[in-house]
Amino acid sequence: MKSFVAIIVFVSASLASAESTYLGMYIQGTKIGYASYVDRADKLGGAPATRSDSHTVIDAGLLGTAVKLVTDSTTWTNASGRPLRMKFYIESGGRTQTVDAIFGEKTVAVDVNNNGAKSHSSLKIPAGAIVDDPITLMLHDHAAQGQKRSFWVLDPMTITFLKNDVKMVGLSSTMVAGKKVSANLIEVIDPRTTMRVFVNPKGDLVRVEGPMGIEMLPETRTAALAKPGKYSPTVDLAINTSIKTDKPIDDPSHLTELKLRITGKDLSQIPSDPSQSVTKDGEAWIVDVHPTRLDSVDGQSITDAQANSAQWLQPSLDIPSNLPKFRELAHKIVGPKKDVHGASLAIKQYVYSLMQPNAGIGVLRDASEILSTKEGVCRDYAILTTTLLRAAGIPSRVVAGLVNWDGTFYYHAWSEAWDGHRWIGIDSTTEDQQLSAGHIKLADGNVEDAFTFTFLEKAKIEVLDARH
C-alpha cells in the first residue's frame, strides 16, 4: 500500500482549491476511503506563501486483515509553486511516521520520526523543476495536447526525490456514474505507476484512475465522510493487485527454475543478474528465474564477503544496523559461525521464529520498532532481516518483487546476502531455506531503492517452463 499512497496525496494536493474539495475512493464500485484537500493564502517565516492541506483515508483489507491508513500533508509554496516546506503525518495500525522537510536553495533538511526512531538527513535538490502542483501548472500554462513536462517530487515514504512526467494527452472520454464524459486527460507518470487525471475545460476534476484499480471521484462532504461502515474492508488489496498466470504452477514454493513471458509492461528497469535474466522479445519480456542453489554454495567467509562491499554494510533508512542492540543480537544469533551461508540462515530462522504476521500495519517501519513489536508484513520481515545481516557484518540488501504462492503472483519482499561471489536470496516469511524460483525481483537495494518499483498492473504472465 505504501507505494501508492504518496501518489494519491500528491495528486490530491495538486488539485487543491480555495474551498475544501472531497473525493471518494473506490475499487470496482466499492468504496474504500476518501481524500480532501484545500489551499489558502498563508505566511511562512513572515513571507507570503500558499498553504495546501490534504487528508486521505484508506480503509480496506490486506491478506484477509482489515487495514486503515490515514495520511495528512501540508505544503507551503512560493509564488512560482516551488515548495518551501512539506510536512506529512502517516498513521496505520497504531504506528505513525512524521516527515518535516524544509527546502533551501540547494538542499532539503528532512527530519523523520518513525514510531519514535528519529533521523535527520540532507537531500541534494536535483536539477530541474520541483513543484507541488504540476497539474495546475499545466492547466495554467495552457499546455498543448501531447506536451510533456518533467519535474521532481519528494516522496515522504522513501525520503527521496522521484522524477515524474506530466503529459497533457488532450480530449478523451471516461466513465462517471455509468455515463461517458468528455474531459481533458492528464497523465502523471511516476516510476511506480501512472495516474490518469481527467479535468473539464474549467480545470475542475472529473475522475482519477489510480494504481491497484483505484478510482477517485468528486463527492459532497457528507458522502465522502460517510461512516466507516460504508467502507468495505473486504476489498483485499493483495488479491486485487495479484496477477494470475495463464496456467497453474504446481508446488511453486519448491521451483528451481521458472521461465515466463510477460506482456503489457516495460520491464527494462527490472534487475537482471545471475539469479534472474530479463530479455526483450518483441513486445514482450522473457524472465528466467534461477536462484542460487544453496547446496552448491561454498562456505565463503564473512570476512571475505566484506571486501569491496561497504555500501551494503552501512546503516540506511529504516536499517539502523550500527546500533549496539542489533550488533549484540546478531552476534548472539550467529554464534561461532564464520561463513555467510550458515550465519545468514541462522538470522533468517530467528526472524521467522520471532515475527508474527500482521497485515494491518500499512506504515513503513524502522527495524527498531519491528524488533520491539515482533509483528508486521513481508516488508517488515525483510527490513529486520537485512538489519541483522548487516549488523553481523554480512553485506545485504532488501528486495521487492512478486512471489507465487498458489499459482498466482502477489507483491512480496525479502532479503539478499552477498557471499563475495553472488547474492543469496533469504525469505524470512517462510521456513524454507532455499529461495524458490517463484520469486521475481522487481527492485533491490536499500529501502528507498527496493520500494520504488514499477507495479505490473494489467500485465499478462505466460508460463513457458517450470521446473522442480
Read off the CATH number of the domain in which 442 is found: 3.10.620.30
Residue ranges with strand state E in 45-145: 47-62, 65-77, 83-92, 95-103, 107-114, 117-124
103 and 176 in a single domain? The answer is yes
233 and 90 in a single domain? The answer is yes
Residue-level pLDDT at 285:
96
264 and 169 in a single domain? The answer is no
Cell numbers at residue 44, please? 511562512
- Using the 3D structure, point to which of 209, 239, 269 is the last residue of a domain: 239
Note whether 289 and 437 are within 8 A (CB).
yes
**Residue 116 class from Cβ within 10 Å (0-12 exposed, 13-18 middle, 19+ buried)?**
exposed
Residue that the C-alpha cell 511516521 belongs to: 97
Residue-level pLDDT at 457:
81
227 and 305 in a single domain? The answer is no
- Report the C-alpha gap between 463 and 259 in whole angstroms: 6
Note whether 326 and 333 are within 8 A (CB).
no
Residue-level pLDDT at 3:
40
Helix extents (H) in 263-323: 302-305
The distance of Cα 392 from the centroid of its chain, to the nearest Å, equals: 27
Domains: count for the chain: 2
232 and 253 in a single domain? The answer is no
- Using the 3D structure, point to which of 213, 239, 265 is the last residue of a domain: 239
88 and 184 in a single domain? The answer is yes
What is the C-alpha R_g of the chain? 23
The distance of Cα 348 from the centroid of its chain, to the nearest Å, equals: 23
192 and 247 in a single domain? The answer is no
What confidence tens digit (pLDDT) does each residue in 75-98 have?
999 888 889 999 999 998 888 999
Kindly list the averaged pLDDT for each block of 10 residues, start to end, along the chain of length 468.
46 53 86 88 92 89 79 90 92 90 94 89 88 66 78 87 87 86 87 86 84 85 73 70 89 93 92 93 94 77 91 95 97 95 95 92 90 94 98 97 90 94 94 93 94 87 93
- Report the C-alpha gap between 219 and 389 in whole angstroms: 49
275 and 192 in a single domain? The answer is no
What confidence tens digit (pLDDT) does each residue in 272-310 have?
999 999 999 999 999 999 998 876 667 789 999 999 899
* Residue-range definition of the domain harbouring residue 147: 2-239
| DSSP H or E run through 277 | strand 276-281
- Report the C-alpha gap between 166 and 206 in whole angstroms: 17
Q: What is the pTM of this model?
A: 0.88
Residue-level pLDDT at 82:
87
What confidence tens digit (pLDDT) does each residue in 453-467 have?
888 888 999 999 999
3-class secondary-structure state, position 131: coil
Q: Which of these, 69, 66, 62, 64, lies nearest to 25 by C-alpha position?
A: 69
87 and 125 in a single domain? The answer is yes
